[in-house]
């Protein structure tokens, strides 16, 4: 019995599997660009300026920007969920002036004043999150109203700055923890690092973190998957309110005063740090660790300008603005590559 031969079967070429070339996922491009640019600036400063390449200079980036790291961590969760929070700077100012008023004018112990302002900031964020979720309001409008409300409450408490002379605040402000040799770090920087580590764990190792990414990617899809969308939206603003209040406590240690004009425009710095750190403003993509490098990028720009000594501090804003343009273009590139191609 002869075998049946299909015409052309004998000429069929063998398919040989070839390994695909390794390509960087486009979603990592903004983060990779931020880290690369940070180390490039650090190298430039070390080569150009004497004394720049030292452990203390880099620890000062954490010390001077500890409050910004904390508030930017909270902002990262909000932006990952597809929202925005414009109230963070005002909540910081409100925290400082409430703390100063309670401690200096009413004789409260810091052990009571600090938990109270943390609870106040958390409740403020939860209230805004409830309004956004329950009434389907735009986060921009709700948090803008929160910004005006918190800043106005500052001036109801006191128009003038309130200095803090309490020994506890002074001791925390001056305390330094030795790191290596003559280098040291402040308590505020340690708090910021702990907050960052906890936030990384929450974002990548908990159901809440996974829900935040899912809601930011597509709220309707998250609903179909049975995820707790309502509690997640409220939760991210609650977390942002807590981080803002904690940043206010750290800012109080840093400034040793409470004032309604503290942290003016800080919400824009936090958003800039989050975007430069690689988080998409559309939500669903980003990393908390990237936000750290975004804050350090802002800090190292200021440090380079101060080491130069001939440039105005306004050059910091100019450079940050240029970086934002670049990273917005990178985000657009990522979005364009992620969209499915249209059929002809």
322-338 pLDDT tens trace: 888 888 887 777 766 65
Do the beta carbons of residue 327 and residue 275 sit within 8 Å?
Answer: yes
Evaluate if residue 167 carries a pLDDT over 60.
Answer: yes
CA triple 23-19-340, angle to 5 deg:
50
pLDDT-derived band at 342 (thresholds 50, 70, 90) equals very low
**Beta-carbon contacts of residue 290 (< 8 Å; ≥ 6 apart):** 30, 31, 34, 277, 278, 279
Cα angle 265-271-275, degrees, rounded to a multiple of 5: 150
Question: pLDDT tens digits, residue range 54-103?
Answer: 899 999 999 999 999 999 999 999 999 999 999 999 999 999 999 999 99
Is 0.85 surpassed by the pTM of this model? yes
Whether pLDDT at 310 is above 90: no
- Is the distance from CB of 164 to CB of 252 less than 8 angstroms? yes
Q: Contact 58/185 with Cβ under 8 angstroms?
A: no
Beta-strand ranges (E) seen in the chain are: 162-163, 176-180, 183-186, 257-258
Instruction: Express each pLDDT in 33-57 by its tens digit.
Output: 888 989 999 999 999 888 888 899 9
| C-alpha to C-alpha distance for 58 and 312, rounded to whole angstroms | 22
pLDDT at 309 over 70: yes
Range of lowest pLDDT (131-135, 191-195, 276-280, 312-316): 312-316
Span 194-218, average pLDDT: 96
CB 234 within 8 A of CB 126: yes
Any residues with CB less than 8 A from the CB of 139 and at least 6 apart, and which? Answer: 78, 83, 84, 85, 132, 237
- Report residue 120 CA to chain centroid gap: 21
In the predicted model, is pLDDT for residue 111 greater than 70? yes
For domain 26-46+53-331, the CATH architecture is Orthogonal Bundle (1.10)
């Amino acid at each position: 019995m002869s075998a049946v031969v299909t015409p052309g079967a004998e000429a069929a070429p063998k398919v040989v599997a070839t390994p695909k070339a390794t390509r960087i996922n486009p979603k990592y491009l903004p983060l990779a660009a931020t880290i690369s640019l940070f180390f490039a600036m650090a190298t430039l400063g070390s080569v150009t300026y004497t004394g720049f390449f030292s452990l203390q200079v880099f620890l000062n980036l954490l010390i001077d920007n500890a409050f910004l790291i904390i508030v930017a961590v909270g902002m990262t969760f909000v932006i990952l969920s597809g929202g925005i929070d414009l109230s963070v700077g005002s909540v910081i100012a409100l925290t400082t002036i409430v703390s100063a008023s309670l401690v200096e004018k009413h004789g409260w112990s810091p052990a009571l004043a600090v938990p109270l302002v943390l609870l106040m900031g958390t409740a403020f964020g939860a209230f805004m999150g409830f309004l956004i979720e329950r009434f389907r309001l735009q986060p921009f409008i709700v948090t803008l109203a929160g910004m005006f409300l918190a800043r106005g409450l500052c001036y109801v408490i006191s128009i003038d700055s309130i200095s803090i002379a309490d020994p506890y605040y002074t001791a925390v402000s001056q305390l330094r923890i030795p790191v290596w040799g003559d280098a040291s770090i402040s308590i505020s920087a340690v708090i910021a690092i702990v907050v960052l580590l906890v936030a990384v764990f929450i974002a990548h190792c908990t159901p809440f973190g996974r829900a935040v990414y899912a809601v930011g990617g597509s709220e309707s899809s998250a609903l179909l998957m049975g995820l707790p969308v309502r509690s997640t939206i409220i939760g991210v603003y609650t977390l942002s309110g807590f981080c803002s209040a904690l940043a206010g406590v750290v800012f109080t240690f840093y400034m040793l005063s409470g004032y309604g004009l503290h942290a003016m425009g800080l919400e824009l710095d936090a958003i800039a740090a989050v975007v430069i750190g690689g988080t998409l403003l559309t939500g669903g993509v980003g990393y908390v660790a990237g936000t750290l490098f975004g804050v350090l990028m802002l800090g190292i720009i200021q440090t380079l300008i101060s080491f130069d000594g001939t440039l105005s501090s306004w050059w910091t804003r100019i450079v940050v603005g240029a970086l934002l343009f670049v990273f917005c273009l990178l985000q657009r590139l990522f979005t364009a590559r992620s969209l499915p191609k249209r059929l002809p």
